[in-house]
Amino acid sequence: MTDISKDVMAPPRSFLSQDAIQVFYRLLAALLICAVLAVLSDSFLSLGNILNVLRQASLTFFIASGLTLVVLTAGLDLSVGANVALSACIAGTVIHKTGSPALGILTGLACGGIVGLLNGVMVTALRIPSFIATYGMLWVLNGLTYWYMAGETLHGFPAGFRQIGSGYLFGLPIPVYLLLVFLGIGTLFAQRTIWGQEIYAIGANPVAARLSGIPVAKRLLLVYTVSGTMAGLASIIFLSRLNSAEADIGESLTLPAIAAVLIGGTSLFGGVGTVFGTFIGALILTLVLNGMNLLSVSANWQPLVTGIIVILAVWLDMKTRRRAQ
């Protein structure tokens, strides 16, 4: 990297920047929701429920964190949910056939990563707009998964493997530890590495990024591959938590992941947002859905509420950005 590139890059994001203020507001919102739910429902503050919320939020976060990088480049990955389903079904088959969880995990991650790489190729080499390319991929993956599973359900995995999704360590669910690890890695990568900063720069101004010597295509390939691999990771957690795999497990995952990214303050127009914000976004969304659950609202209402939240989040983002300008 030359010095020129640094001039056009977004300034390094520290925790005391504009972003920090945005994250602070969102933390307040999360606390407010907690307070309301604690008043409305007796069981909300129980340890079991709080751990449950954290575990649910971590599942959304795994998918949403990779997606955050894609959205930071002003792209979108609509195939994440379908990717989780395919990866889970393939990883499950491998575990059943070989009896080796490690091999299954590797296969799941690889499957997710390859799908992500293909998305990246469509966006960079074929120059198809990302939301259409990944939307096409969604249906290709859906078709493949349903064809591969042929209506079957994979069930019953080794006890050790099931610990990943449902086990505890020092009283906390294991996915929560994974969440902290990936939150740390994601934040460090985006905020503190040159590649991370280049991703912000691409989203803020792709032409300036290219002219300043950033290998735009390579970085885009990277973010789509990371997004796919994180979907692969989520598929492993899902597989191990549900102890079963079906072709339709991914259908209700994409919209919440996008919602988490947008609630977390990452702008659809690229260049603005943080992985930590996405964590808060996943937490807020999970709290809302958990609250509905505790208040005995039918699960049928979840897509409606998630849809409204997506639109509200984009609208609020655009409003605050307009005011800032």
Binding site for another protein (CB under 8 A): 76, 78, 122, 126-129, 131-133, 135-147, 150, 247, 255, 258, 262, 268, 298, 300-308, 310-311, 314-315, 318
Least distance between another protein and beta carbon 78 (Å): 8
Q: Of the two residues 156 and 307, which places its CB atom closer to another protein in the complex?
A: 307
Q: Are 62 and 87 in contact (CB under 8 A)?
A: no
Q: Of the two residues 84 and 105, which places its CB atom closer to another protein in the complex?
A: 84
Least distance between another protein and beta carbon 82 (Å): 10
Least distance between another protein and beta carbon 286 (Å): 16
Q: Of the two residues 19 and 77, which places its CB atom closer to another protein in the complex?
A: 77
Q: Of the two residues 169 and 297, which places its CB atom closer to another protein in the complex?
A: 297
Residue 154's H or E segment, with its range, is strand 154-155
Least distance between another protein and beta carbon 109 (Å): 23
CA-nearest of 221, 258, 212, 235 to 157 is 235
Least distance between another protein and beta carbon 194 (Å): 29
Least distance between another protein and beta carbon 236 (Å): 23
Q: Of the two residues 270 and 277, which places its CB atom closer to another protein in the complex?
A: 270
Q: What angle do CA 176, 181, 33 make, to 5 degrees?
A: 45
Q: What phi, psi does 155 have (nearest 5°)?
A: -140, 145
Least distance between another protein and beta carbon 293 (Å): 15
Provide the 10 A C-beta neighbour count for residue 167: 15
- DSSP-assigned letters across all residues of 241-298: HHSEE-TTTTTTTHHHHHHHHHHTT--TTSS---HHHHHHHHHHHHHHHHHHHHTT--
Q: Of the two residues 145 and 197, which places its CB atom closer to another protein in the complex?
A: 145
- DSSP-assigned letters across all residues of 158-227: -HHHHHHHH-EETTEEHHHHHHHHHHHHHHHHHHHSHHHHHHHHHHH-HHHHHHTT--HHHHHHHHHHHH
Q: Of the two residues 76 and 179, which places its CB atom closer to another protein in the complex?
A: 76
Provide the 10 A C-beta neighbour count for residue 29: 16
Least distance between another protein and beta carbon 227 (Å): 17
Residues counted in the chain: 325
Q: Of the two residues 23 and 122, which places its CB atom closer to another protein in the complex?
A: 122
CA-nearest of 219, 189, 250, 208 to 70 is 219
Distances (CA, A) of 83 to 31, 88, 111: 32, 8, 8
